[in-house]
Amino acid sequence: MSSALEQPREAIATACRILGMEGLVDEILGHVSLRIPGTEEMWIRCRGPHEAGVADTQADAIQRVTFDGAGAEEGYCVPNELPIHAEIYRARQEVGCVIHAHPPAALVCGITELDWKPIFGAYNIPAMRMAVEGIPVFPHAYLISRTELALPLVQTMGDCHICLMKGHGITVTGRTLEETVVRALNFHALAKVTLQAAQTGRTVASISEEDLRELPDLGRTFNEEWVWRFYVRKLAHWEGAPLQEN
């Protein structure tokens, strides 16, 4: 079980600040949600009376709401794009967390239609595998503010955990908050390298099949738990807060 389920408001707020620290969200745009098991409800970042941007998210901004957006405390507004979260949860019972963000590198890769290729290996194995497996592209740049606008996104994603939204941003899913945040960060790494390689003007080849075979699956502990813990500690340093043991 994800430790985020024990203190969901604090965990989601931390995730939002990590995404802000790493440049996946800017200003007040972007949101993170966590399914509440056994219900038609979620915890989700809302905008409230003390709104100061996603990178400054505090626990009070995380509100418990229904999939239809009801239930937020007075003074708090659910995201306009709540249907992204709600319709993914309705369609995919295995999904426990949804992130919608606007990372600039992914945006540019999408609007310039760069190919996702495994151009690196051990540098970041999970990110490399995203390129190998392929990333669905949602071709619309509109605000997904209604159910009928969210359903095509869900269809485009299928059972994939990452979707590039052309001219808009990204949507990322996972079983747990920690897994989903790390997955979003890995995709951000892939997008940055892809864009930087394209900017050199050189033709960049994929790594060899032989090299691919030698890259192992390092497991959830290596790729999720430890990486999440690293970013929590990095955030504490970034914010100048005292470190606390998990």
pLDDT band at 218 (very low <50, low <70, confident <90, very high): confident
Sequence-ordered list of residues with C-beta below 8 angstroms from that of 193, at least 6 positions apart, any chain? 119, 120, 123, 127
pLDDT per residue over 153-212, tens digit each? 999 999 999 999 999 999 999 999 999 999 999 999 999 999 999 999 999 999 999 999
Nearest residue to 225 (alpha-carbon basis) of 187, 179, 189: 179
Between 95 and 217, residue with greater pLDDT: 95
CB 207 within 8 A of CB 122: no
Has residue 2 got a pLDDT over 80? no
Q: Are strands 162-165 and 137-138 parallel, antiparallel or unpaired?
A: parallel
Residue 220 clears pLDDT 70, i.e. is over it: no
- Grouping H, G, I as helix, E, B as strand and the rest as coil, residue 113 is coil
Specify whether 81 is catalytic: yes
Query: For the chain, what percent of residues have pLDDT higher than 70?
Result: 94
- Annotated catalytic residue: which of 6, 10, 22, 81? 81
Instruction: Give me the pLDDT at residue 216, please.
Output: 82
Cα distances (Å, whole numbers) of residue 229 to 155, 156, 222, 236 = 33, 32, 11, 11
Select the more confidently predicted residue: 36 or 240: 36
CATH of 3-239, picked from 3.40.190.10, 3.30.420.40, 3.40.225.10, 3.30.460.80, is 3.40.225.10
